[in-house]
Amino acid sequence: MVAASGLGKRVDTAAGPLDILADIDLQIHTGEAVAVVGVSGSGKSTLLGLLAGLDLPSSGDVWLANHHMNVLDEDGRAQVRGQLVGFVFQSFQLLPGLTALENVMLPLELAAAPGPRAQAMQLLERVGLAGRLTHYPKQLSGGEQQRVAIARAFSMRPAILFADEPTGNLDSSTGETVIELLFELNREQHATLVLVTHDEALAARCERHIRLEAGRTVPASAAP
């Protein structure tokens, strides 16, 4: 479902070129739940950006469900993202100008899917926010905002879900509830999950770990 070969990202700094990522080879299969782990600055988020087609690599190739991402242009990659990919971010990234319902409807509307309102209402009910449809993000707690973001991520029934530190801005018990929801929905929809985290406990819930150290993969154990 997701594949990378010889993937590298180099940036120019004042001290000369710097490899943020180098020689990454990986394969993630359909339905798999994979955690990308590593300390701060190890290149986790950069890898996520490259795999999801948000950024272009300096070297190597990325395939997303047979789409060769690094040969597509920005609008081509956007189209693939819209059709196949869901995102959950640490900072929720809801549009402040739209209500909870409208935020969830947005990907459906962008893709011109039929009945966006009914689908979105169903999903918000599923994440326990049936009573918060017309609230704006500002009027919701952090946990509620992340639940809206999860509902939005699953609204297009994505083949792949990328989650970037989804509990990073939440307290532990709220984080627990949100993660529970994320994994439940992931199982229901048989989506492939790529989860970036530095939280070992969260990573432990995934089937496989990809560990990054200074921009390179190091051998990692399968989940227990």
Partner 1 sequence: MNQATRWRLAMRLLARDWRAGELRILGAAIIIAVAASTAIGFFTDRLGRGMVNQSADFLGADLVLESPRPVALAWLDEARQTGLVTSEALKFSSVVVAGERLQLAGVRAVTDGFPLRGRLRTAAGPFQTDAEDSGIPASGEAWAAPRLLTRLGLNRGDTLSVGEQELVIRKVLTFEPGQAGSPFGVAPRLLMNLADVSATGVVQPGSRLTYQYLFAGTERDIARYRDWLKSRLGPSHRLVGVQEGRRAVGTALERAERFLGLAIMAAIVLAGVAIAMAARRYSERHFDMSAMLRCLGASQRDLLALYLAQLLVLGLLASAVGCLLGWLAQLGLLALLAELLPMAPSATSAWPVLAGLLTGLVVLAGFALPPVLRLKRVPPLRVLRRELSPLPGNAWLVYGSAIAAVVLLMWRYTDSAKLTLAVLAGGAAAGAVLGLLGFILLALGRRLHGRVGVSWRFGLNNLWRRRHTSVSQILAFGLALMAMAVIALVRSDLLATWQSQLPVDVPNHFAINILPDQVEAVHGFMAARKVPTTQIYPMVRGRLVTINDAPVRQAVTKEAQSDNALNRELNLTWTTELQEDNRIISGRWWRVGDSGRPLVSVESKLAERLGIEVDDYLGFTVGDEAFSARVASIRTVQWDSFRPNFYMVFPPGVIEHFAATYMTSFHLPPGDKPMLMELVRHYPAITVLEMDLILAQVERIFRQVTLVVEYVLLFVLLAGFAVLFAALQASLDERLYEGALLRALGASRRQLRSGHLAEFITLGALAGLVAAIGTECLAWVLYSQVLHFDYQFKWPVWIAAPLLGAVLIGAAGYRGTRPVVERSPVLLLRER
Task: Return residues touching partner 1 (CB under 8 A).
Answer: 45, 48-49, 54-55, 74-75, 78-79, 81-83, 87, 89, 93, 95-98, 102, 106-107, 109-112, 164
Residue whose CB is less far from partner 1, 117 or 208: 117
Question: Minimal CA–CA distance to 148: which of 197, 186, 98, 196?
Answer: 98
Shorter beta-carbon distance to partner 1: residue 171 or 207: 171
How far is the C-alpha of 10 from the C-alpha of 142, rounded, in Å? 35
Count of CB atoms within 10 A of residue 3's CB?
19
- Cβ–Cβ under 8 Å, residues 86 and 161: yes
Closer of 49 and 60 to partner 1 (Cβ): 49
Q: How far is the CB of 37 from partner 1 (least distance, A)?
A: 17
Q: Closest CB to partner 1 among 39 and 204?
A: 39
CB of 50 to partner 1, least distance (A): 9
CB 191 to partner 1: min, Å? 16
In terms of CB distance, is 78 or 223 closer to partner 1? 78
Shortest reach from residue 5's CB to partner 1, in Å: 21
Neighbour tally for 66: CB within 10 Å: 8
Closest contact distance (angstroms) between CB of 89 and partner 1 is 6
Cα distance between residue 100 and residue 108, in whole Å: 14
Q: How buried is residue 189: exposed, middle or buried, by Cβ count under 10 Å (0-12/13-18/19+)? A: middle
Check residue 39 and give left, alpha or beta (phi > 0: left; psi -120 to 50: alpha): beta
